Amino acid sequence: MSRMVTCIKLGKEAEGLKIQPYPGELGQKIFNQVSNEAWQMWLRHQTMLINEYRLSPIDPKARKLLEGEMEKFFFGDGSSAPEQFVAPKQ
């Protein structure tokens, strides 16, 4: 049986993450309050941020920026795309 959480992002009960996805207090908060579905949404958004801002995930400044965006995405007003971003047509 899957672990269920009340997802802060989706506003509903959904399947939780299997493991803590990020270290520290933020990672524990995400594990307790974010569903697997919302985490997948974040991974797509994070990929877009990395590509649009040309970030290197090993750069400490880039990691700090991504951590701040992750916190906003789940627990704040949301993380938005850069002004010049144009979503690909599906």
Q: State pLDDT tens for residues 71-84.
A: 999 999 887 777 67
pLDDT of residue 85: 66
Q: State pLDDT tens for residues 1-24.
A: 689 999 999 999 999 999 999 999
CA distances from 85 to 33, 51, 68 (A): 29, 10, 19
Per-domain boundaries in the chain:
4-75
Report yes or no on whether pTM surpasses 0.85. Answer: yes
pLDDT of residue 54: 93
Q: State pLDDT tens for residues 41-50.
A: 999 999 999 9
Superfamily of domain 4-75: Fe(II) trafficking protein YggX (1.10.3880.10)
